[in-house]
Every structure is written in structure tokens, then in C-alpha cells.
Amino acid sequence: MNFKDKPDTHFKSVDKLDKKEAAEQIDALREGINHHDYLYYVKGSPEISDKVYDKLFNRLEELEAAFPDLQTEDSPTRRVGAEPVSKLKKVTHKAPLFSLQATLEKEDIDSFLTTAQHKAGKDSVQCVLEPKFDGLSVEVVYKNGHFDYGSTRGTGEEGEDISHNLKTIRALPMELQHKDETPASLAIRGEVFMPKDGFMALNKRRIERGETAFSNPRNAAAGIMRQLESRHVADKPLDIIFYEILATEGAQPATHQEVLKQLSRWGLKTCDLNQSASTLKKIEQYHHRLAEERDDLDYEIDGIVIKLDDHDLRNAMGTRDRSPRWALAWKFPPREEITTVEDIVVQVGRTGILTPVALLQPVDIGGVTVSRATLHNEDEVHRKDIRVGDRVRIMRAGDVIPEVDERVKTPGKKRAQEFHMPDRCPVCNAEVTREGAYYVCTAGLACAAQLRGRIQHYAARSAMNIDHLGEQTANQLVERQMVSNLADLYTLAVDDLKSLEGFAETSAKQLHDAIQEAREPRLDRFLFALGLHHVGRRVARQLAEQFHTLDNLMKADQSQIEDIPGIGTETAMETEHFFRDPANRDVIKRMQEQGLKVHPMPRPEKKPLEGKTFVFTGSLENFTRDEAKEQVEMLGARATSSVSNSTDFVVVGSDPGSKRDEAENIGVECIDEKDFEKLINKHGKPAGG
């Protein structure tokens, strides 16, 4: 049987095969599938249709199910669906995985060549030039031509075993070609990376679901490859390139060019941009060419790697503690804050508001890699006339949230169509309605994105303060349909939580205990934790002080709420609607049945810092920013984000921004964290609630 060339997909019924016939067909199918994986994922030139490939794969699965004793670990069917590992084991590398010394200066390249020429006693030395992939460096080990295991670079001497996840990457062969020519043991080095189009698609899905986007493809690849369950990796767009033999039984090739040829002969993917050079001029031309072409490549590179070709010369050059002397990385200058809008996607927040987000070609802004930026709302997109494919200038508003500042005009370039918000929610497909400048999903907690967001917000430190309940855990609780509303959190058992990825007996018990301990909040904390539209911490405190108990607030009408100074009609209307909604009342009732007891808010008294205004800048050691604001607000003061003549105190932490200088220029008092603590303690530090 030959499934390599024009494979026949008309198969005899499995129950009519004896074991010998099944074994022969299984071997032939594995060989054929591996061959077509190589053509598709390594060579990029498939010879059969997806439909034919699926028939071959499904037939192999059917045979292995019927003859389970013929299953093998290196079968193509074992790439996905493997049992999750309990943790990532430590692995000692066959040989050190050195990091590369890097430079931005041409003079350092000249010095590198001069040193190598002197050591070789020649006027020129041959180098191999390669793109510097911005990915995850890995060691992959083969035994007798079969995949054995793979690990992360880690410390360079020791890494983590990620074999279960590497198997899901189709470009990585489970069996080498010409395996009769392979050494008994072979350790090679490669780079796992995420192609740009796959990265953009992944971030689009994450943003639409209300999850945090990955900042760049390298972080995405590194985070995904350390998952404990390969089923969460198998559908991710990962690829791998190989570029070095680390260790082998028997003789190594004499040059790096021969190594690359040998890797390719074994069916391992190498980079088609590699080339040789022996002069600084040729190296500079290569560096310049790739710097210009990097935006058009389907993967991220941040420079080039220059390696001596001759292995004897490499040995003569030797190594430093953590890097070889025979190789050097010449990095590209960081991209400026002007970049390209690759896509505009719509994110669904916990309150149902749809926000357009620009997915960007990653760009460095003040030392931070930015790959997404808010576009606020449809009106803002139209006002700035931002479209997919535009060049834009990015700014970080308040040094935190990246946003698109303006479009950079590119004369002569054809532009994409104007952006419009969707009519249906991108997560749950419910109807979308417009409320003022915003579009809102009408599904409420039936929308998975809103539910995930509400769980995260409910558990936040400034809300119910439930440790260990972050974004990833909230996602799993919703995806596995373990939580359909906030009341379900209190019904989760330790065994339920143990089934989540990343949890074992101890961590599951810790989360369970943290949820159970979050049963007696003060009213203002509980109101903020519920995540009502327009109800932040300040409004939650106003509501709690006015109505004192949860029962009183749930009975209040719009006019009573609107009578509170500073609360507008829209907030009052939204609050009344929330507590009159039968579904919300039912969730609160179920929470109370599970032991939730909301403590009344203390009656407001004259507060010692009433009328004072605080601004915080820099990082505080003993408070988060929200905690510091809560302290002053509980004492009657306001916390604002900008310095003005009405500011009374600017609290200065470590690494402060420009706000300290602004305060000093207009004569506003600046105090450090120690003085801030003395001030709030003097007036009676309020309970955290």
C-alpha cells in the first residue's frame, strides 16, 4: 500500500481485516500521513487535498481504535488529545543552550570578524547569516530517528519538558526521514514561534471574548507551550524552525552549512532566508535587507545572527559563561511608535459594552511592546478615520493604556473599507443595541464574555478579594459550564476545582477556601463587586451610605437614587433596572442561600479629610493604587488622576511620573508613602471592609 502518491481512499471495512492486514495498513497510513505533513508544514507544497488527508487520518484513527495493541506513541494520531501532565518536569540538556551576545552597532560586527580572522590566521572567514527569530528556544531529542522528548531552554543547562505540546506542532516530525542514517541519539536546537497571521487571529479571538491579548508572538508561543494540557495547544497556530545540532553520537558535520543541509535531509524545517557571507559589506547588506523586509515576513524577527561556518574555528574561538564567541546577534533598531493596523476587532466587556480594538504590528513604545490599542467607540474611529492597513501613530495614555493617536497618511496607497460596529455580538451572536456613543450586547450573563468579565471583577482585590481566581481560571469555569452566574461560585467543591488546568489538591483547596471566605462583604464592596454599569467604587460607596442595607437599595426607585448628590439619571436608571431584574434578584437570592451575608454600611459621619483632594504617582510599597484611593475616600477625600490648583496632596511612590514635577511647579504639597501612612493613621485608618 502506498499512501504517498495519489492515495486510494476506498477502504475495506475494518471488521473484515485480520491483525496482519491492519498492521500493514496502519504502517502505510502513518508513513503516508507523515509524508504529507512534511510536504504541507515543512515544504509548503501540499500534493493532496484536505479532504483526502482527512480520510487517511480518520482511517488511521479507526484502525487504531479497532486494534489498540497496534497503537504507538509516535503515531500521527497521538499529536493531540494526550493525557494532561501533572506538572512540567525538569530536563538536563544534552549540551548547553547558550544565549547570544547582541549588539546594535556595526563596529561590533567588524570587531567580531577581525577577532575570528586573527584566530583563523586568514584574511577572511566564512559566516552563515540567519534571521534572529523572536520565539521560544527549545531542545528536541530523537532516539534512533524517532522523537523522544523536547524541552524549553530554561537556564541553558536545564529546561522544562514540553514534549506533550511539541507533538502538536505539525512541522515537527515524529519520525525523521532517512532514519536509517540518523545517529542513535540526536539533540537539535530549534525555535518555536507563532506566525503573524496566526497571532493576529488568536488575539482577535481573545479580545472578542474579553480576555487579555498577548503582547507579542514570542510571549504567546512561550505561554502556550508551557500549558499542562496539550488539547489547549493543538489548535494554536505554532510553527518550528531548526538551526543547530547540539549533541550527537558520532561525528558532526565539519561546517554549519553542512549541518543545515543535514537537518533538511532529515525532514526538519530550516529557514530559506539563510545565506553565507565573508565580508562586513555582505553582512551589512543582509542586515539592511531583512530590516526592510521584516514587516512583510509572516513571522517576527528582531535582527540577524552571524555564525562562523567552520566548526574547528568555532572550537578555537570557544565560549563565554553563557554565550559562544563564535556567534553574534546584530539586532534591528526598535520600531518607532508608528505602526500598521493589522485588524480592527470588537471586544465585549463585562457590562456588555462593545469596544473596537486595533490589532497592531508589535511596536516598542518607551520600552514596552504594544500590539493592541483601544479605539474607544465607533464615533472615535470615524473621527480619526482609522481603517485596517493604515499606518498610525500610537501613544500610551497616562503611560498605561495604548491608544491610536492619529492616522499617518500614505499617499497613493489604496485603503480598506470604513469600519462599522457589528449588529450581533461577536461572542454570543445576541442583538446589539446602541446607547449613546456605545453599542451594547443585550444577552447579559448569557453572553460568555460578560460572565467571564463579571467573575474576574467579582474576585478582584478591590471587590471581593478572592485569591487565585484570575482570568485563566474564570475562562475555564465558563468554558466548562461550571459557572453560569455568580451564585454558582459558592457551590464549587474542591474536586470541581481540581479538574481545572493548573490546579492540584492544595491549590484547589486554596481557591475553594478563598471563595467560601468571601461571604461577608461590606455593602459598598459587594455593590462594586456586582459590576453594575456606571457603578464604580465611589458610586458604590455613595449608594451604600445612602441606603445602608442591601434590602433598602433593592427596594429603591430611580428618583430616590437620583436624589444622591453626584449621581445622574443614567446611573440611577441602570441601578434600579439591575435590582428590579428578576434574573439578578434570583442570583442574589441564591447567593444568600449559599451563606452570603452583606454587612450594612456604617452611617456616614463628618469625615476628617472631607474636601481634600489626593493624586498618586509612582508605585507604593504597602498599597495598590486602588487600596490607597479607598483609604482617602473612606476618610472623606477625593482621589483624582491629574494635578491642579485644587489638589491638596500628591503622594509620591517609587518611579514617579511627571505629576510630581507638575505639583512642585504650582506649589502643591508632595508627601512620600511614610507621610501618607502617618496622615491616614492620624485620622483613624478605616477598615478594609
Catalytic residues: 132
| Dihedral sign, Cα of residue 470, residue 476, residue 477, residue 478 | positive
- Please give the Cα distance from 286 to 274 (Å, whole number): 10
β-bridge partners, 331: 303
Residue 50 annotated as binding site: yes
Residue 530 annotated as binding site: no
Residue 384 annotated as binding site: no
CB neighbour list of residue 357: distance below 8 Å, 6 or more residues apart: 207, 213, 344, 345, 346, 347, 372, 373, 374, 375
- Please give the Cα distance from 649 to 480 (Å, whole number): 48
Instruction: List the grid coordinates of 247.
Output: 549533541
- Please give the Cα distance from 233 to 140 (Å, whole number): 18
Residue 21 annotated as binding site: no
403: left (phi over 0), alpha (psi -120 to 50) or beta: beta
Which among 286, 403, 285 is positioned nearest to 337, based on CA atoms? 403
- Please give the Cα distance from 423 to 418 (Å, whole number): 15
Residue 271 annotated as binding site: no
Amino acid letter for position 207: I
Which among 232, 236, 231, 202 is positioned nearest to 216, based on CA atoms? 202
Residue 409 annotated as binding site: no
Instruction: List the grid coordinates of 167.
Output: 507533538
Residue 99 annotated as binding site: yes
Instruction: Give the three-class secondary structure for 161.
Output: strand
Instruction: Give the three-class secondary structure for 345.
Output: strand
Residue 670 annotated as binding site: no
Amino acid letter for position 155: T
- Please give the Cα distance from 687 to 689 (Å, whole number): 5
Amino acid letter for position 610: E
Which among 289, 188, 177, 184 is positioned nearest to 240, based on CA atoms? 188
Residue 51 annotated as binding site: yes
Instruction: List the grid coordinates of 252.
Output: 558532526
Residue 55 annotated as binding site: no
Residue 127 annotated as binding site: no
Please identify which residue in the block is written with the cell numbers 468579565: 453
Q: Using an 8 Å Cβ cutoff, are 636 and 608 in contact? A: yes
Amino acid letter for position 115: T
Residue 153 annotated as binding site: yes
CB neighbour list of residue 157: distance below 8 Å, 6 or more residues apart: 92, 93, 96
Query: What φ, ψ does residue 605 adopt, rounded to 5°?
Result: -120, 175
- Please give the Cα distance from 367 to 381 (Å, whole number): 27
Residue ranges of the binding site = 50-54, 99-100, 130, 153, 191, 307, 331, 425, 428, 441, 447
Residue ranges of the binding site for NAD(+) = 50-54, 99-100, 130, 153, 191, 307, 331
Residue ranges of the binding site for Zn(2+) = 425, 428, 441, 447
